[in-house]
Amino acid sequence: MRILLLNLYFPPDTSATAKMAHSVVEALSIAHSVTVLCGRPSYDPTERRAWRPYQTELAGRASIIRTGSTAFPRFDMKKRAVNYLSYVALAIPRALFLPCDAVLAMTDPPFQGIVGAIVAMLKRKPYVYNIRDMYPDMAIGGSLVEPGSLAQVWEKLHRWALRRATRLVVLGEDMRARIIAKGVESARVLIVRDGTKILPPTIALLAPDPEVVRAIRGSFSFVLVHAGNLGFYGAWNTLVTAARILASDGVGLVFVGDGAQRSQIEAAAAGSGNIRFLEFFPASKIPSVLAAADAHVITVKRGLEGVVVPSKIYGILAAGKPIVAVAPTGTDAVSLGVQRGFAVAADPDRPAEVVSAVRALASDPNKLKAMGEAARAAAPDYDKVKELQKFVEIIDHLAVK
């Protein structure tokens, strides 16, 4: 089949959707012809591109067509919106003249699902919508958009796009449930998790970098790590409040990363000696970051269950580390983690529950070890290669039809 993939970001962009788009393209390109219609690199890219209305390059077996969208840095939301709009303005007309047998869209820009549905409708082709983050739910829940007329129109158009999709590919059970609740036929909503790379048992893990471990652990006797984007989805105030209480227990909370909410979290944590902020480490050091923690934090604030699905859970499992899930009970992090024994859960609105959960772990080495073993045992069930094969099979099924 000839697949047309629509997503603003693609390497050398470094966003999560860019990385996943690249993985999907590599998997699909083995048996199918893939064309990616993306924008100029703008999401912390490793390299830039000169402006041209359209330019074509190759990535393995895939053809990459970059529109001449603006390439403002992602941190200014108004300019980022200009990136979105300029991409869509150039992508839609170009897409209409690209031969394909199916249209596949991801979620950058946040209204890409609607764009993909329009393109597929005009081309009269099957439409596969891979939902990475659900909008406008995410924008409303993160207080980026007020729940007024704009949000209502956006939601109406998004539900139309959901109904138009031949298949909806989502990240977990919680997201699937949320989509079905919008009136979508359950048989069309399929789960493909991001997963993680699972090394063969014959390959030994590399020893953690002692400098990375030292930078993260400091002098704390027990270390909680939140590694990743500090965006609008987390129960940050609950975490900070709990960490302040845990200071007398020798517990440290270390944030590794950046994001739109980092400055607010830093302000809330001001004066607390056991809450620290570190920049992202190079990708080669991620295993050391994962190994440095006694337990990792995954957080989703109430109301965003199924809207955002933190995929970093799978790397944590592969590292054999326990998870403290500060999230509602409906999230996969809680339901899967508690069921399989690699996570403890705490209400995202109750700091006292976080304190109790962490104290129970810090005071019980046997429990901590058992949870780590449960994490490592669960990891192979989320092998990235196997998950990508599910994606390929969804596309293959379109060809059969």
* Residue-wise DSSP of 221-237: SEEEEEES---TTS-HH
Residue in this structure with the two tokens 């048992």, named with its chain if needed: 201
Residues 118-126: contacts with CB under 8 Å, at least 24 apart? 118/92, 119/4, 119/6, 119/92, 119/95, 120/164, 121/164, 122/96, 123/95, 123/96, 125/100, 125/101, 126/101, 126/102, 126/166, 126/167, 126/398, 126/401
Cβ of 164: how many Cβ atoms within 10 Å?
16
Domains 2-195+383-400 and 210-381 share a fold: yes
Give the per-residue pLDDT at 265.
96
97-141 confidence digits (pLDDT tens): 999 999 999 999 999 999 999 999 999 999 999 999 899 988 888
- Cis peptide bond prior to 12, omega within 30° of 0: yes
Give the per-residue pLDDT at 401.
54
**Architecture in CATH for domain 210-381:** 3-Layer(aba) Sandwich (3.40)
Give the per-residue pLDDT at 326.
97
Handedness of CA 322, 327, 328, 333 (dihedral sign): negative
Mean pLDDT in consecutive groups of 10 residues from the start of the chain, 401 residues:
97 93 95 96 92 93 96 89 96 97 96 97 97 89 82 95 96 94 95 90 79 94 94 94 96 93 94 94 92 96 90 94 95 93 96 97 95 95 95 87 54
The fold for domain 2-195+383-400 equals Rossmann fold (3.40.50)
Segments of 146-196 assigned E as strands? 167-170, 189-191
Name the residue ranges covered by the structural domains of the chain: 2-195+383-400, 210-381
Helix (H, G, I), strand (E, B) or coil at 277: strand
